[in-house]
Amino acid sequence: MKARASASPIRDERTMLDAFEGIRRAQFNGRYAPHKPLLLLLALSRVQRAAPRMARFTEIEPELRTLLIEFGPSHSASKGNFPFWHLGTDHQGALWQLEGPPAVLERPAGATPNLGELRAHDVRGGFSREVYGLLTRNPTLLRDVAGRVLRAFFPASIHDDIIAAVGLDLEAHGEAATPDAGARRRDPGFREKVLRAYELRCCVCGFDLRIGSLPAGLEAAHIQWHHVGGPDVVPNGLALCSLHHKLFDLGVFTIEETERRVVFSQHAIDGARGLAGELRHHGQPMLPPQDPAYAPDRRFLAWNWSNVFKRPERRLAVASP
Ligand SMILES: [Zn+2]
């Protein structure tokens, strides 16, 4: 096992940020390619989760593949070898380091090993020691870098999806004062568990479009918001399409506690579309999760009702006995 030497070590935060910035410039010379940024975000998330610095390609590959299918252009799913390999040549390996047999590492940068070769030769990759050190010592810096990568490569409308998919937590938890004391990390599995509980469909409108096998435009919403104490548990989650997630967070509708019906606000006025518009969902029971144990907890629904929902509510028909 050999590690490729890095020529220009990263010494401080400034040179590190320049190195991330350099990736952006290099990519914008050619055509837009989200492969490297997605791998970087995944790697940043691993650092945040205290995973070992170096990871086997085979360990990273499944997650990277899923990210490329969901957020990359067509045909990018089978190209996970490219960012894994080519990040190692940016800044002569000062940012991303590769380890593996010399026969592989000593290839010219352009002779990208294919997926099978990376797997078979047990090639490992990860941030260089300097970068890993800077990121682990300074959680704020890690979030700053992740935010820059997100903003440089992806539209704001999908930032939350990407953050959730890679399992990053970009919220400050006061770790500058006391690392991890009372910190509430996001559970990277929250989205997946909630979407599965609702069988990959919006619980208001049933939206269930998929790209291949992956849901698109479907999100896991917190009923009690995470940043004000809502836990990452399925009974505090709803699977909602992007539109209904937005409307829910704006307090346009909520789910009432008793029969879990969708209730719209009197402030929501549905223009000219009448019954074809959003208000057709008013008074309808939400689509239930596959197991009643996953259903929204009353405590969280009550929190949403008093803290987010724009009261007063539209009148509900009396429930049938
Ligand atoms: Zn929906």
pLDDT recorded at residue 211:
87
Nearest CA to 167 out of 306, 62, 35, 43 is that of: 43
The CA distance from 113 to 84, in Å, is 10
Residue 290 alpha carbon to ligand 1 centre in Å: 17
- In three-state secondary structure terms, 238 is strand
Residue 283 alpha carbon to ligand 1 centre in Å: 15
pLDDT recorded at residue 181:
38
- The CA-CA-CA angle for residues 171, 125, 111, to 5°, reads 130
Residue 134 alpha carbon to ligand 1 centre in Å: 42
Pairing state between β 210-211 and 214-215: antiparallel
Q: Given strand 124-127, what is the order of strands in its sheet?
A: 2-3, 96-100, 124-127, 55-56
Asked if 210 and 69 touch (Cβ cutoff 8 Å), the reply is no
Residue 50 alpha carbon to ligand 1 centre in Å: 36
Residue 53 alpha carbon to ligand 1 centre in Å: 40
CA 247 to chain centre: 20
Residue 76 alpha carbon to ligand 1 centre in Å: 28
Pairing state between β 214-215 and 218-222: unpaired
pLDDT recorded at residue 295:
98
- In three-state secondary structure terms, 253 is strand
- List the chain domain ranges: 2-166, 190-307
How many CB atoms sit inside 10 A of residue 30's CB?
A: 7
Q: What is the dihedral of CA 155, 143, 63, 204, to 10 degrees?
A: -60
- The CA-CA-CA angle for residues 266, 270, 273, to 5°, reads 155
Dig out the tokens for 180 from the structure. 């991890």
The whole-model pTM stands at 0.74
Q: Which residues pair with 237 in a beta bridge?
A: 222
pLDDT recorded at residue 144:
93
Sequence-distant (6+) residues with CB within 8 A of 244 are 202, 204, 205, 207, 253
Name residue 198's amino acid.
Y
Nearest CA to 189 out of 214, 221, 167 is that of: 167
Nearest CA to 147 out of 73, 31, 44, 50 is that of: 44
Residue 80 alpha carbon to ligand 1 centre in Å: 32
Nearest CA to 126 out of 189, 28, 53 is that of: 53
Residue 146 alpha carbon to ligand 1 centre in Å: 29
pLDDT recorded at residue 5:
57
Nearest CA to 122 out of 138, 149, 103, 148 is that of: 103
pLDDT along the chain (321 residues), means of 10: 65 87 66 85 96 96 90 78 88 89 89 94 96 95 93 84 90 54 67 96 97 90 88 97 93 94 92 76 97 97 92 82 51
Nearest-10 crossing angle of helices 159-166, 57-71: 160
Residue with tokens 């790209």: 211
